[in-house]
Copies of this chain bind each other. A is one copy, B any other.
Amino acid sequence: MTDDPWVPPVVLLAVDLVILTLRDSRLHVLLVRRGVDPYKDAFALPGGFLNHAGEDITAAAHRELSEETDLDVETLSLEQLGVYGDPGRDPRGRVVSVAYLAIAPSLPEPTAGTDAADAGWQPADHVLSGDLQLAFDHRRIIADGVERARVKLEHSALATAFCGPTFTITELQNVYEAVWGIRLDPRNFYRKVQKTEGFIVPAGTARKAVTGRPARLYRAGPRTVLYPPMIRPAPVSIEGGE
């Protein structure tokens, strides 16, 4: 150890985006296929390095979001998920990545961006099961993002972000069932969301039937924090894991 004036080490800063949506009543995550090494041809989260040393991190996340997808950035909730900076997670050097979580309503297949040779929605359970080869530590980031979404569904009105501008109560229930991975009783769910004041508000016209009784339409209410929360049935095992 020398006594030279110590200079702090520098790192490369990147952002990664976990973009979740519902397609066909299943949770999907947006992945791109890497066109360059490392992990060439493997699936990865959309993201990239800061443009310049002065770029705001959240702004970079928004920029990547609009670069790699054609989603309406303004209306999307974008929330910091955490930092992933293990040494060795990127063979190119010390790369520290800030992960963001975004929720999008169901949308058509996105068009590929510039960096990505291919981009598309992949079923979340398929990705998390390990069948799909993912670059870097992106599987863990996705797992954290899905878990965050599960928790947020309990305490916030995030579920409406998965839906379009108007939706039926059954569609909202499908969101909860898909993200939580369980089934809920339609009648109890109906009662619960109805009495959670400000969660959803009626939206004029009330028809949306392919078969069966037409459902009423609702839109997201003014409330963002749900109190009392929606209750996820018995998510905890006997010995209460973290």
Q: Across the two chains, which residue of chain B brings its CB closest to A225?
A: B240
Contact A98-B83, Cβ < 8 Å, known A222-B239, A227-B235: yes
| Contact (Cβ within 8 A) B9 A49 | yes
Asked whether A86 and B11 contact (CB < 8 A) given A225-B236, A227-B236, A242-B224, the answer is no
Assess the B156–A242 pair: CB atoms within 8 A.
yes
Residues in A46-87 with C-beta less than 8 Å from chain B: 49-57, 80, 82-83, 85-87
Q: With CB as the reference atom, state the residue of chain B lying closest to A55.
A: B87
What range describes how many residues of A lie at the interface? 35 or more
Query: Which one of B12, B51, B83 contacts A80 once the chains associate, using CB atoms below 8 Å?
Result: B83
A210 lies within 8 A of chain B by Cβ: no
Contacts of A239 in B (CB 8 A): 198, 222-223
Total copies of the chain: 2
CB within 8 A of A82: which of B82, B96, B236?
B82
A82 to B11, CA, bound (A): 17
Is residue A234 within 8 Å, beta carbon to beta carbon, of the partner chain? yes
The answer to whether the Cβ of A219 comes within 8 Å of any Cβ in the partner chain is no
The answer for the CA separation of A11 and B57 in the assembled complex, in Å, is 11
Let me know if A23 is at the binding interface, CB within 8 A: no
Q: Are B80 and A98 in contact (CB under 8 A)?
A: no
Q: Report whether A56 and B156 are in contact in the complex, using a CB–CB cutoff of 8 Å.
A: no
Check B240–A223 contact: CB distance below 8 A: yes
Q: Does A8 lie at the interface of the complex (its beta carbon under 8 Å from any beta carbon of B)? A: yes
Tell me which of A50, A98, A198 has the highest count of chain B C-beta atoms within 10 A of its own C-beta. A50
- Which residues of B lie under 8 Å from residue A9 when comparing CB positions? 12-13, 49-53, 55
CB distance from A60 to the nearest CB of B (A): 10
Does chain B have a CB within 8 A of A241?
Answer: yes
In the complex, what distance in Å separates the CA atom of A82 from the CA atom of B225? 21
CB-based nearest B residue for A87: B54
Q: Which residues of A contact B (CB under 8 A)?
A: 8-14, 49-57, 80, 82-83, 85-87, 94, 96, 98, 156, 198, 222-227, 234-236, 239-242
- Please name 4 further chain A to chain B contacts, defined as beta carbons within 8 Å, in addition to the given A8-B13, A57-B83, sorted by A numbering: A9-B51, A11-B12, A54-B87, A57-B96
